[in-house]
A and B are shown apart, each in its own frame.
Chain A
Amino acid sequence: MSRAARFKLGVIKRTVELTIDGVAVEVPEGATILDACNKLGIVTPTLCYLSTLTPVNACRVCVVEVEKARVLAPACSRKVEPGMVVHTDSERVRHSRRMVFELLSSSVDMSLVSGEVKGWIDSYGSDAARYGPPAPPAKVGERDARHAGHHHAVDGSVAETVAQPVKIDNDLYVRDYSRCILCYKCVEACGEDAQNTFAIAVAGRGFDARIATEFDAPLTDSACVYCGNCIGVCPTGALMPKSEYDLRQQGRWDEARQTVTQTVCSFCGVGCNLDLTVQDNAIVRVDSPLEHSVTHGHLCIKGRFGFQHVQNLPD
């Protein structure tokens, strides 16, 4: 159920009137500035926001200018107030959005973000190269071992990044934290917002903060149940099914040759919708539609990874 749909149901709510970019808009009490922007059709860039998860407002790319406020406000989580006057395209807003995209692009591999996000990165004019050449990637386990409150000396000749080797410790999915923008979505999906498994959390501090299991244990030793809901919410391709990862490594991942087939999972009676991504007559990835009322985009290990039996065909 989308956020917008939720407001039409149930309890009668008072409405709040505010002004966004000079246009008056009325939204239910408790709605966010983002909801109001959506109602007006104003496109707001988001990275850490997802309608099915609690907003963490960590990426700050959705910031807007609220008159009389000292600092910018995250549209995704700031609740509307009567008489609020909001600017979504002021110079101040554009500067912050450009810089956030720029800071992320200069430190994280953003090559697999959606076309929409790539469009924002370009349209806000962010230039990741401004900070100099990227530093060489960290060695295996090096970032995981960094201690809070300390960092190695830097001289500014290269720009620090989160580049590091891919973590492959199971047959179902890989974790490529060189692509991690630390949006917290996977942690939320693993925890209270979906799966309640709590296999991963944010560890460390500052630029060395990272998604980790306890003591960086391999997933196979962790509480992970391989539901893959973290993959479903990851906006940058840092978390990816092994099937997709392998094809990409072999240079055989080709979206032009792919189709998406919607079906219903046959493993149990819940009725989860599945989106099967198929390439060359083989399933290469399974997702569930975000807006589906049963799954909200989430699946279990069977639905997400249990597809081999349908394609174990005789040669």
Chain B
Amino acid sequence: MDLRLRGSDPTPAERATVDLFLLSSGVSEQANGRAANTGHEARAHRHLLLPALHSLQDEIGWISEGALSYVCERLTVPPADAYGVASFYALFSLRPRPPLVAHVCDDIVCMKKGAEDIIATLQDKLGPESSEEGAATWLRSPCLGQCERAPALLWQRAGSDDRSHAPASSEAVGRLLADGLFDAPERGTAPQTETPRDPRLRLLRRIGLVDPTDLDDYRGHGGYSALRRAVRLGPEGIARELADSKLMGRGGAAFPIGAKWDAVAKAPVRPHYVICNADESEPGTFKDRILMEEDPFALIEAVTIAGYATGAERGYIYIRGEYPLATHRLEDAIAQARARGMLGGNVMGEDFVFDIELRRGAGAYICGEETALMNSIEGFRGEPRNKPPFPTQVGLFGKPTAINNVETLFNVLEVLAEGGPAFAGIGTKDSTGTKLFCLTGAIAKPGLYELEFGATLRELLDLAGGVTEGATIQAILLGGAAGTFIDTSDLDLPLTFEATRAASASLGSGVVHILDESSDISAVLLRIAAFMRDESCGQCVPCRVGTVRQEEALQRIVAGRKNASGQDDVALLADLVRVMSDASICGLGFTAGVAVKSALERGLLTPQGSNS
């Protein structure tokens, strides 16, 4: 490819950063010299674009034109293309930015827990949002996945690792800005793992007991016995166990995992890939984060099993960019597994090849959509692809790919541990196994909970000590920003795929957010509408423009203002929700109006003075 680069040069620091990254990724200077700077070899490096941009953002604090140009030269990517990719992600800055950036979550959970106080403090100390000068600045952020200990911040630090900060407070933020000292990260909260420990735990069985930084300790807690058993069973045996288990994917679509893996295993096109979707970004969701922070080796083992079962030699874990601790733990776990022969050319001495690469997202909810995630790994904009073809046939790099959510993969370990038929005995007939729930809002003990499918909402709330003292439930948001509102008449709803579907709701990512009488549901809805608008990739018209029009109409309804054209805004919203759910490309568009629609249907948003 004949690249035309503008005159800007990288600074020595930028050049060194990119060189170091590429060296560590096996791209040598020579191979990219003038003579070899063409053809397939050069273009094959495109997938390194996103991590290369990360290296600049991490070290330098922003991505300058000279730096981007140098990345393009080394990876043979047209600069306009690379600019399109870099400008797609919220965590990358293409303008000068202070070395310390506070991303403050003001999403549905944190907004009720003092996010605005923190923002006021930051505004007071650092000036307006997103300033280009000074030692530090701040930005509003969508959900950071720290909801059980809200309010949350993410500190992005140039030249140093990023840090999550939760629970945060105005005082703590002020102190931190004064002394520059960061506290050690807090542990995630899963109340059932505290004393007295709930004996029923499966997915959370090792959380709080195992040392997440020690492979031997993981093995001491039964780790890698599932992989051993998987190898005894062979790929077809694993497929049989998974089919018997009736395990459904936990990523939202509830697709039978056995069928998915089987389709990839049998696909004639090679190579095959496996991906773990750890881009957990649904507002109110933090389950995968706790699993990865506290039990990272289990995920490595499960992804290895996926690779073995589907005939893949390479797996990717795509983790959201806002999870520094989980990223660090997984990096460390992968390194240990490699060093001990649990990954590599002869996994566990069982004569099969498998390795895992960890990829970080950079602030894009849409990259949790499986095909957008694949584009993101490949170094393109995180725009979803049209389906069919499905990833099992045409996936990552156009090859058959099995992509699964973190929670689903943890379930695979359980299936192999106790056998498919036994696993099918847990839960209900159509929803087998256990489910993780992210409980937040007006609840005594917010946190991560694990329950057998079939337990009711009431049982879940009881397990968490009931609603906050003195509070009464106004509504419950089930499934996150793409979820639905239910109310106290639904407390006996069994939390299963089939029962929620029958109630026109969805378990989604397991978010259960309790809104009490003091909660402002209009504010929650406006935040969801703003979120959908911000996170739409912009590719298809129904979602790109529809999410904008939805937010505008909702603003008018909440303010009790008439539409200047004389239209009924409630009817307008219904039209918008319909086109988004019918004609969008991907799940984001399909569900972008679901929460608003359900709130209107439930009468949670009384249009004051509207013209309806």
Chain A partners chain B: yes
Which A residues lie at the B interface, using CB under 8 A? 56-61, 63, 71-72, 74, 77-79, 92, 95-96, 99-100, 103-104, 106-107, 129-133, 145, 147-151, 154-157, 159-160, 181-182, 191, 196, 198-209, 212-215, 217, 221-223
Of the candidates A61, A157, A203, A221, the one whose C-beta lies within 8 Å of that of B6 is A221
Could you give, for residues 535-575 of chain B, a 1 whenever the CB lies within 8 Å of some chain A CB and a 0 otherwise? 11111111011111101111110010101110100001001
Given A151-B534, A205-B536, CB of A130 within 8 Å of CB of B572? yes
Interface 9-mer from B83-91, B436-444, B480-488 = B83-91
Q: Closest CB-CB distance, A219 to chain B, in whole Å?
A: 11
Q: Closest CB-CB distance, A90 to chain B, in whole Å?
A: 11
The interface centre, meaning the residue of B79, B142, B575, B584 with most chain A CB atoms within 10 A of its CB, is B79
Tell me if B433 is interfacial: C-beta within 8 Å of chain A. no
Which residues of the other chain, A, contact B79 by a CB distance below 8 angstroms?
213-214, 223
Which residues of the other chain, B, contact A96 by a CB distance below 8 angstroms?
542, 578-579, 582-583
Complex Cα–Cα for A129 and B545 (A): 14
Q: Return the chain A residue nearest B534 by Cβ.
A: A149
Tell me if B585 is interfacial: C-beta within 8 Å of chain A. yes
Whether A182 lies near B576 (C-beta < 8 A) is no
Whether B78 lies near A206 (C-beta < 8 A) is no
Q: A130-B567, A204-B87, A213-B80 are in contact. List 5 more A-B contacts (CB 8 A).
A: A59-B540, A59-B541, A78-B388, A205-B88, A214-B6
Complex Cα–Cα for A205 and B543 (A): 12
Which residues of the other chain, B, contact A182 by a CB distance below 8 angstroms?
538, 544
Q: Closest CB-CB distance, B581 to chain A, in whole Å?
A: 7
Can you pick out 22 interface pairs between chain A and chain B where the beta carbons lie within 8 Å of each other? A57-B540, A57-B585, A72-B582, A74-B386, A99-B576, A100-B542, A106-B545, A106-B549, A130-B565, A131-B549, A131-B563, A154-B548, A154-B551, A156-B552, A156-B553, A156-B554, A200-B80, A207-B545, A213-B80, A214-B82, A222-B80, A223-B80
Whether A206 lies near B535 (C-beta < 8 A) is yes
Which residues of the other chain, A, contact B590 by a CB distance below 8 angstroms?
71
Tell me if B270 is interfacial: C-beta within 8 Å of chain A. no
Q: Return the chain B residue nearest A181 by Cβ.
A: B541
Whether B579 lies near A95 (C-beta < 8 A) is yes
Whether B552 lies near A131 (C-beta < 8 A) is yes
Interchain residue pairs A-B with the least CB separation, the first 5: A209-B538, A149-B90, A198-B78, A156-B555, A201-B84
Q: Return the chain A residue nearest B555 by Cβ.
A: A156
Whether A204 lies near B80 (C-beta < 8 A) is no
Complex Cα–Cα for A104 and B575 (A): 15
Which residues of the other chain, A, contact B554 by a CB distance below 8 angstroms?
156
Which residues of the other chain, B, contact A155 by a CB distance below 8 angstroms?
555-556, 559
State the interface size on chain B (CB cutoff 8 A): 71
Whether B584 lies near A99 (C-beta < 8 A) is no
Q: Return the chain B residue nearest A107 by Cβ.
A: B545
Complex Cα–Cα for A82 and B463 (A): 52
Which residues of the other chain, B, contact A160 by a CB distance below 8 angstroms?
548, 552
Given A60-B542, A131-B565, A206-B533, CB of A150 within 8 Å of CB of B83? no
Whether B581 lies near A201 (C-beta < 8 A) is no
Complex Cα–Cα for A95 and B583 (A): 10
Q: Closest CB-CB distance, A146 to chain B, in whole Å?
A: 9
Which residues of the other chain, A, contact B581 by a CB distance below 8 angstroms?
71
Complex Cα–Cα for A147 and B137 (A): 15
Q: Return the chain B residue nearest A190 by Cβ.
A: B80
Of the candidates A60, A95, A215, the one whose C-beta lies within 8 Å of that of B94 is A215
CB within 8 Å of A: which B68-118 residues: 68-69, 78-84, 87-90, 93-95
Which residues of the other chain, B, contact A205 by a CB distance below 8 angstroms?
87-88, 90, 364, 534-538
Q: Closest CB-CB distance, A235 to chain B, in whole Å?
A: 13
Tell me if B363 is interfacial: C-beta within 8 Å of chain A. yes
Q: Return the chain B residue nearest A209 by Cβ.
A: B538
Whether B88 lies near A92 (C-beta < 8 A) is no
Complex Cα–Cα for A72 and B582 (A): 6
Complex Cα–Cα for A257 and B371 (A): 50
Which residues of the other chain, A, contact B3 by a CB distance below 8 angstroms?
223
Which residues of the other chain, A, contact B555 by a CB distance below 8 angstroms?
154-156
Whether A159 lies near B579 (C-beta < 8 A) is no
Given A60-B540, A156-B553, CB of A217 within 8 Å of CB of B533? no
Of the candidates A79, A104, A133, the one whose C-beta lies within 8 Å of that of B564 is A133
Whether A156 lies near B582 (C-beta < 8 A) is no
Tell me if B360 is interfacial: C-beta within 8 Å of chain A. no
Whether A95 lies near B83 (C-beta < 8 A) is no
Complex Cα–Cα for A131 and B65 (A): 39
Which residues of the other chain, A, contact B87 by a CB distance below 8 angstroms?
148, 203-205, 212
Given A63-B582, A72-B583, A208-B538, CB of A203 within 8 Å of CB of B544? no
Whether A71 lies near B83 (C-beta < 8 A) is no
Which residues of the other chain, B, contact A202 by a CB distance below 8 angstroms?
84, 381, 538
Tell me if B4 is interfacial: C-beta within 8 Å of chain A. yes
Of the candidates A107, A132, A133, A212, the one whose C-beta lies within 8 Å of that of B83 is A212
Whether B83 lies near A203 (C-beta < 8 A) is yes
